[in-house]
Amino acid sequence: MSKLVAFAAIQGAYEIVTRVEGIYEKALEKYGPEQKLAFPNTAYYLPIIYSLLGIPVTDMATAGKALKVARKLLPAHVQNFNHLPYLGPLLDAGMAALFAEEVLEAIRYFEQPDFYTLGEECDPASGKIWLGAADDTILRKRGVEFVDGSAPGFAAIVGAAPNAEIAKEIAEEYQRRSLYVFMAGNRMGTTFTEQLIEAGVQVGWNTRLVPFSPDISGAVFALGFANRAAMAFGGVKPGDYKKNLLYNKDRVFAFVNAFGEVNAEWAANAAGCVNWGFPTIADTDIPEILPTGVCTYEHVVGNIPHSEMVQKSVEVRGLKTIVTKVDIPLSYGAAFEGERVRKDDLFVEFGGKKQATELVEMAEMDEIEDNKIVVIGKEMDDVKKGDKLDLGIYVQVAGRKFQPDFEPILERQIHHLINYAQGVMHIGQRDISWIRLGQPAVEKGFKVRHIGQILHDMFHKEFGSILDKVQVTLYTDPKDVKAFTEKARAMYKARDSRVENMTDENEEIFYSCTLCQSFAPSHVCVVSPERTGLCGAYNWMDCKASFEINPTGPNQPIEKGECLDPKLGMWKGCNDFVAKASRGKISQYNFYSIVYEPMTTCGCCECIAALLPGCNGVMTVHRDYTGETPCGMKFTTLAGVMGGGQSSPGFVGHSKYNIIQRKYIAGDGGIKRMVWMPKSLKEELREGLLRRGEEVGVPDLIDKICDETIAIDEASVYEYLQKVGHPAVEMDPIVG
């Protein structure tokens, strides 16, 4: 290892720690030791410090403890003679720099409260560019993509490219590979983020181009995201630095791209990233750190041409990415899914105030022709800017292994697959779809028929094992769309009734879902007809179809076997599978109970229910609600406690839809035990809650369920329950 790189990194770490100590001392004198320090809406405090040191920084006093650790980590300066080229001191220096920078950013949050924008989207027009630390809602929403593989990893870019066009090319190549790009730091006052905005590229979490900060200290937001993923999804405990760092090396495929001359402070941050197994690839001729050591391959690689930067980066990280090819004139990839087509960029839209309907239907092999795409009505040549049109998307699929049960599985993919086209926005599904085409997409030659081409190409790519032919008919004439919509609605109704009438008692086969085990090794989800997967993405039919499509995949059939407890929902076959799949960590659990050995939970859950003993019932909260709850913990805190595949009596993760399924906590009294949930969730589930209330003999149950507009502490919730006559008040004790 070069003495030059060691000198620069260690010198940079001294500079960072010393500078932050000075800022800290001034802030301590001005605001006092009790001044609160926090990143917004997170249960993980300052996550690098919390995850690696186990110190929950909550105020200036506890921040001082972290800075003392940073100072102690600083190694001796590099000597001119007898220099020992060991990696250890370099790693310590990098870690010290990151601890200090995290404190620096926390101080910025209260001294400059408007510097960062809360949420997922930027507003360049108003100068609101920098997003700062991702809150836990974003972490869990986006973290799922790292779990299911739709996001293979992330590139942390510091500095700026030589010009906006090169920045755009690099960013879009990462998008095509479905990677996230986290951006921080500047090069001579210019940032990679601002270059993308100059080139007309949308930035924000929705496009996977995330502008954290214009300063190099913003690199802590990328590493903090990775560390929280380890705690939230992998069950790594705060303070267990070895497991956290190894988890990130093995499971979170990230790397750094340094654009511009690497100064001492950048070198310190690069050294810090090596602790995580994240290598740095630079466009300048910097001293390199090649194997062996911590990273899978090289640690620091320099002098890489911009045209080779993306490919070299994924090679050095040992990351496998696939660029999806479809026969359309636009870039295509999952990273474009969150792109917005706004009013100023809009050329034409389908649906919205017009009708747009989608349907996938099975056909016989001789009834359709593969790759036959027909547009009946107006094509883009007949459309002028600003037009609003009806649209019907009719996909006929044939295959010797295809079954009618697969129709809704493929139909749900239409939303994602169309959205993956750059400059095309898709919202909704079934008969409430809405598609917008941006002017740049139309100028590149995108037409209505290309919607069919996307579905043909991607259905073959994703579901080729079960289908042989895909034919797509696209209707744009209002009369044709109306007739098509009537047909589609009849099919939707028939499908829904088929699933709704299924029961756990009548099915001998349940299905596993171990998709999240890449992040939560002991978590094993078992999906039954009356208990959907806790992430909300998989029901019994989905798992059945998934197994047929991929027999060696994460959804495996389980013979439920002997029923050990019909009330709580326990079967011998399920227990045997869970014990084996969790490697002995979990021996058994109940499907229908929150009180007695509930199902395991991982960080992907849509909702978490918690026991409220004083109310003789339960509450639940979904990930989009960021306020306080009667159990004293926000969703983020609950998820931090529950994530990682634990079975915790009194708490259980579940999907939104599961709340209105007949077996929801049936072993503890069922839906009549629901005493509190956020108002937004009540409204989202209104129709189902009204139906379930009728079924259990409490037709006005929805109005008796308390929410945050009424009370957020357990005592006040109980007062409300008594006032409205909630059934839980008169039920037998939920525990005992």
Q: How far apart are CA 208 and CA 375, in angstroms?
A: 33
Q: Where are the domains of the chain?
A: 1-323, 334-494, 509-730
Q: Which pLDDT tens digit goes with each residue over 81-109?
A: 555 557 888 899 999 999 999 999 999 99
- DSSP, collapsed to helix, strand or coil, labels residue 213 as strand
Which pLDDT score, from 0 to 100, does residue 80 have? 62
Q: How far apart are CA 236 and CA 250, in angstroms?
A: 13
User: What number is the average pLDDT over the span 595-617?
Assistant: 92
Q: Which pLDDT tens digit goes with each residue over 486-506?
A: 999 999 988 877 777 889 999
124 phi and psi angles, rounded to 5 deg: -55, -30
State the first-to-last Cα distance of the chain, in angstroms, to the nearest integer.
Answer: 64
Question: Given this structure, which CATH class describes domain 509-730?
Answer: alpha beta
Which pLDDT score, from 0 to 100, does residue 365 have? 94
Which pLDDT score, from 0 to 100, does residue 56 have? 96
The helix-helix angle for 219-234 and 136-148 (nearest 10°) equals 70
Q: How far apart are CA 303 and CA 348, in angstroms?
A: 45
Which pLDDT score, from 0 to 100, does residue 508 have? 96
How confident is residue 2, by pLDDT bands cut at 50, 70 and 90? low
Which pLDDT score, from 0 to 100, does residue 260 have? 94
How confident is residue 538, by pLDDT bands cut at 50, 70 and 90? confident
Pick the range with the lowest mean pLDDT from 183-187, 357-361, 637-641: 637-641
Least Cα distance to 161 among 134, 139, 129, 193 occurs for: 193
Four-residue CA torsion sign, 426, 427, 433, 438: negative
User: What number is the average pLDDT over the span 420-449?
Assistant: 94
Q: Which pLDDT tens digit goes with each residue over 275-285?
A: 999 999 999 98
User: What number is the average pLDDT over the span 345-357?
Assistant: 94
Q: How far apart are CA 407 and CA 393, in angstroms?
A: 14
For residue 317, is pLDDT > 90? yes
For residue 529, is pLDDT > 70? yes
For residue 179, is pLDDT > 70? yes
How confident is residue 412, by pLDDT bands cut at 50, 70 and 90? confident
Which pLDDT score, from 0 to 100, does residue 26 have? 97
Which pLDDT score, from 0 to 100, does residue 722 have? 97
Q: Which pLDDT tens digit goes with each residue over 7-38?
A: 889 999 999 999 999 999 999 999 999 999 99
Domain boundaries 334-494, corresponding CATH code: 3.30.1650.10
Q: Which pLDDT tens digit goes with each residue over 365-385?
A: 999 999 999 999 999 999 999
How confident is residue 519, by pLDDT bands cut at 50, 70 and 90? low
HEC secondary structure over 332-373: ECHHHCCCCCCHHHEEEEEECCCCEEEEEEECCCCCCCCCCE
* Domain 1-323 in CATH 1.10.1740.10: no
Which pLDDT score, from 0 to 100, does residue 643 have? 66
For residue 1, is pLDDT > 70? no
Least Cα distance to 474 among 438, 420, 435 occurs for: 435
Average pLDDT across the chain, whole number: 92
Strands 391-398 and 356-362: parallel
Q: Which pLDDT tens digit goes with each residue over 124-148?
A: 988 899 999 999 889 888 887 887 7
Least Cα distance to 397 among 448, 463, 453 occurs for: 463
3-state helix, strand, coil in the chain (%, to 5): 45, 15, 40
Which pLDDT score, from 0 to 100, does residue 81 have? 55
Decide which of 252 and 563 is more confident: 563
Which pLDDT score, from 0 to 100, does residue 537 have? 74
Name the most confidently modeled range: 316-320, 341-345, 463-467, 656-660: 656-660
How confident is residue 287, by pLDDT bands cut at 50, 70 and 90? confident
